[in-house]
Amino acid sequence: MKNKLNTFLVIQVILILILVWLLTYFGRDEFNNIKPNTDNSKNAQSLLKTANGVSYITLSSEIQSNSGIKIQPVQSSTYIKNLTNYATVLSIDLLIEQKNRFNEIKNQISLLSNELDRDKKNYERFKALNDDNKNISDKALQEMKVNFDNTKIKLQATQELITGIKQNIRAQWGEIILSMIDVGARKELFDFLVQGKARIVKVTLSENANDQPPKNISLALIDNLNEKFLANYLAESPTLDKSIKGKTYFYIVYSNQLRIDSKVIASQVQDSLSSDSGKYLAIPKEAVVWNSGQAWVYLQSSENKFFRKSIETNTESPNGWIVEENHIKENDLIVINGAQLLLSEEFKYQIKNENND
């Protein structure tokens, strides 16, 4: 029995030794694979770094040369922030009709006001006589009161008509043009409009335009872009063009050559003192890479450091995009070849680091 137990223990020890040997033999490949991965991780850390919350890639001159990475200084652009849009030459026939009706009703109000004053005086005189020993009969006094009340009702109804016309003009044309009708403001301008010597044009400026409308715009005929007309700002329109997000304005052009109800092309008039003439930069299309719907460029901050910055793509040019000078400055060194490679490398290292974590 004792010999059997010893034999069993010997066999058990032998099996354990064989198992340890097998684990050591087959596990050495896994151990060897760990070392290169550790080296790659160290290499990744040496390429992608972070300072003050900003990630950047470091590439030696040799790697840059082998990868074909090229840079050039960011150039300024002569681009001037501008607007180009269609404008409509408005008919003022209805406005003239409203003005004529307005004046007609104002005359009626004047006549009714005089009539009301007269009826009021007559009623007060009749009432005094009636109170004085019935020198005027009650019937005559009652008839005079009815006349006085009827005139008052007519005057109130006529005044409501004038209020309605003013509300319609205000809703269609705004306060500035209403004042031309109501109080005779800018009479000379309105006379020019009535005589056909001037036109009102309506233009909508898109949302990304400046909050303040330009004082002047240039108008051009669609079939003759070389013939231009200067238009002056008049007022903001109370009605909007639903097809364009933005604000709508009225402009005056002193010419009768623009056909009523026609479409013309409106563009902003610029000069060297224009506040809209900011400093702009030209970003080559070769420098732009896209990720998650956002445009990015890579800038070189030193010989071996590259970092990524987003740009706006609202204004496209034939060779790329125009951006306002802000976090990218003129003469900054921008990558024009190899930006996609840098983006791929940056995200590859970020993914590796996340997996290691």
As to burial, measured by CB atoms within 10 angstroms (0-12 exposed, 13-18 middle, 19+ buried), residue 196 is exposed
Same domain? For 135 and 66 the reply is no
Structural domain of 337 = 48-80+279-355
Same domain? For 177 and 103 the reply is yes
Is the model's pTM score more than 0.85?
no
Distance (Å) of CA 342 to CA 52, 72, 74, 102, 335:
20, 16, 18, 71, 9
| Domain closes at, from 268, 290, 317 | 268
Rounded (5°) CA angle 168-170-173: 100
Same domain? For 100 and 177 the reply is yes
Burial 76-101 (b: 16+ CB within 10 A, else e): ebebebebebebbbbebeebeebbee
SS (H, E, C) the chain: CHHHHHHHHHHHHHHHHHHHHHHHHHHHHHHHHHHHHHHHHHHHHHHEEEECCEEEEECCHHHHHHHCCEEEECEEECCCCCCEEEEEEECCHHHHHHHHHHHHHHHHHHHHHHHHHHHHHHHHHHHHHHHCCCCCCHHHHHHHHHHHHHHHHHHHHHHHHHHHHHHHHHHHHCHHHHHHHHCCCCHHHHHHHHCCCCEEEEEEEECCCCCCCCCEEEEEECCEEEEEEEEEEEEECCCCCCCCCEEEEEEEECCCCCCCCCEEEEEECCCCCCCCCCCEEEEEHHHCEEECCEEEEEEECCCCEEEEEEECCCCEECCEEEEECCCCCCCCEEEEECHHHHHHHHHHHHHHHHHHC
pLDDT for 214:
87
pLDDT for 22:
64
Which CATH number fits the domain that encloses residue 344? 2.40.420.20
| Domain closes at, from 268, 303, 328 | 268
- Residue 293 counted as domain residue: yes
CB 324, CB 306: distance < 8 Å? no
- Residue 303 counted as domain residue: yes
Q: How many other C-beta atoms can be found within 10 angstroms of the C-beta atom of residue 189?
A: 18
Question: Which amino acid would we find at residue 42?
Answer: K
| Domain closes at, from 135, 161, 183 | 183
Same domain? For 132 and 173 the reply is yes
pLDDT for 211:
66
What does each of the 357 residues of the chain score in pLDDT, given as a tens digit?
A: 556 666 766 677 677 777 766 666 655 555 455 444 444 444 444 577 888 877 888 888 888 888 899 999 999 886 655 567 889 999 999 999 999 999 999 999 999 999 999 999 999 998 888 888 878 888 988 999 999 999 999 999 999 999 999 999 999 999 999 999 999 999 999 999 999 999 999 998 876 555 678 899 999 988 888 888 999 999 999 998 777 777 899 999 999 999 999 999 998 765 443 444 568 899 999 999 999 889 999 999 888 899 999 998 877 887 888 898 888 999 999 999 999 998 988 887 655 555 555
* Total number of domains in the chain: 3
Same domain? For 300 and 336 the reply is yes
Same domain? For 287 and 322 the reply is yes
User: Alpha-carbon distance 226 to 59, whole Å?
Assistant: 53
pLDDT for 41:
46
Which CATH number fits the domain that encloses residue 233? 2.40.10
